[in-house]
Structure 1
Amino acid sequence: MEVFQIIIGILIILITFLDFFHTTFSGRGFGFLSGALNRLLNNMILQNRSRSIFNFSGLTHLLITSFVWMALLYWGTFIIFTAGDEMVINSTTHLPATTVQRFYFTCYLLSTLGIGDFIPGNQTSQVLAGILSFTGFVLITTGLTYLLSVVQAVLGKKELSFLLSTMGCDVEQIYKFYKQEDDLSGFVSDAENLRQLILKNASSYLAFPMVNYFLSKERDSALIVQLAALHEVLEVLKMDWAPNTIEHTKINVVINAIEQYLKLGLESPEDAPDKLDSLTTLRSFWRKYGYVYKRYSDMDRRLTASLRYAGWNWKEVYRLKEQQ
């Protein structure tokens, strides 16, 4: 029974670290535990979009996920040190520690405080204590480093959102912003820089998946809304140019960057509704400027899924005056 309990505790710790390092270091998104947890939290937060917790969604995800990692580490370690009477003893009397004292020992062991009033009581316990004290140090220090990286990625995401928002507060204003120059010379010269900024933020999806859950009720700081609006305008502007022109090429460069951003996200086209009736109605707006834009694509479904995932919709993307 003692060996079996130690094995159970070690398995819990190993699963915790596999999930932790997959999320923080792999560059492949969440581990299976943290992924399931954050999807559940996101569903709960989206149901409370009108409440202040929505503005603290990212912090909520970050704190709860960190707490679960630490709780699992402490739980696995506590199971190990309750496996037998000699696993933890009083350093003075050498009597076996109580359950509460073992929990106390677990806490200061993983925090590497080293108080010393309770100690491992046998060689197995001593070996495990040495290893586990190091795991606590690794989890805490790595977690803090990851936290700083997430904060930097969030700031980069907001920076790009604010940059795009300066072009206009709805699709019509963005369209007019670019049509100020008939040859799109301004867009052509800035397209490469814009592409790099979008791709830089796209990498944050996988390197720091927690960034996805820093949601906002403010349109100017909601990157997915800004990208969806930009995508709609660029698809329309592309109709003005032949495929072999530099303008058409540069427009496609930015559209492809947005597509890459969406492909690296947590959402898939299957998360979008089967019918995009609202988008059909909204796109009829472009007839005002002589465009017929009705077609649907995989990009439309990815954008729809991403907007829903962040608590937005196409009506808020277009934000036309007649619909306000």
Structure 2
Amino acid sequence: MDQQSRGEKIVVTCKVLLIVGFILSFQIGYSQDSPNKNSFKPSDSLNTKRQNFVIISEAVLATGTLIGLNQLWYAEYPKSNFHFINDNSEWLQMDKAGHVFSSYHLGRFGAEMLEWSGTSKKNQLLYGAGLGFAFLTAVEVLDGYSAEWGASSGDILANAAGTALYVSQELIWNEQRITPKFSFNTTKFANYRPEVLGSSISEQVLKDYNGQTYWLSVNLYSFAKDSKIPKWVNVALGYGAEGMITGRNENRTTFSAENLQRFRQFYLSLDVDLTKIKTNSHFLKTVFSVFNTIKIPAPTIELVRFNEVKYHLIYF
């Protein structure tokens, strides 16, 4: 089976956890504290009620998802002894960029939820930020015992890199100055294999690596706090790839008579750090935190194959 299907499973799971789980958790937490208008405000000291809610919610959500994957996905395939596979050359490493993104933001949301409960900084980083790595590594373990798949050392390293990116910034700067982000645009390549790359836009966002771009968005003010740079202005470095209808290059002619060439793309663009927008509303701060995973459309310079430069008035 094409490894993209495996990547789709992980991406779908992580993005559902990132967006739906985080929003629902705070909505439930809010209802528990109502009618307190400060329900979205992080506690100044340990709030045991909130902490228990966060721990139980995260445990139930992660455990339920893993059980669901095991029953609905892995049960369809034969088991095997635990083994690794080497998929590092597939999809021009776009899947690995997705793992870094998912691990970082799962960990960030986990830490922020513990911060909301008043948990100590040490425990936020240890138990909250470790959530992304622990969950995604558990998925790799399930893969490792499946005869159809296999655990990927590259995926595990990418998961570790995402977690390390979050934790290291908290330890060094006590803030997040560099944030992984995501953007997407439709491509023609999904038409070649719609069953794998998606037959609708909603599927292609999750499945078509050709249309995905992963960014490292750098907050300028954080590195020049004596300057007059607006606190919310970022510069983003992006990575993408096109020409891929299979994971490995040698299989491309099976699905297209065209001589499709796989190539990498690098981007330089402006961005906005939504978490730096000043507001007294803790609800808006929560919303901004959730949607700070998405790169804002902006003027962009694109470098293709290291030898061709393109300029986009607006790129997403």
TM over 0.5, shorter chain: no
User: Which has the greater radius of gyration?
Assistant: 1
Give the TM-score of the pair, scaled to structure 2.
0.27
Of the two structures, which has the highest relative contact order with CA contacts closer than 8 Å and spacing of 6 or more? 1
Q: TM-score, normalised by structure 1?
A: 0.27
Q: Pick the structure with more strand per residue.
A: 2
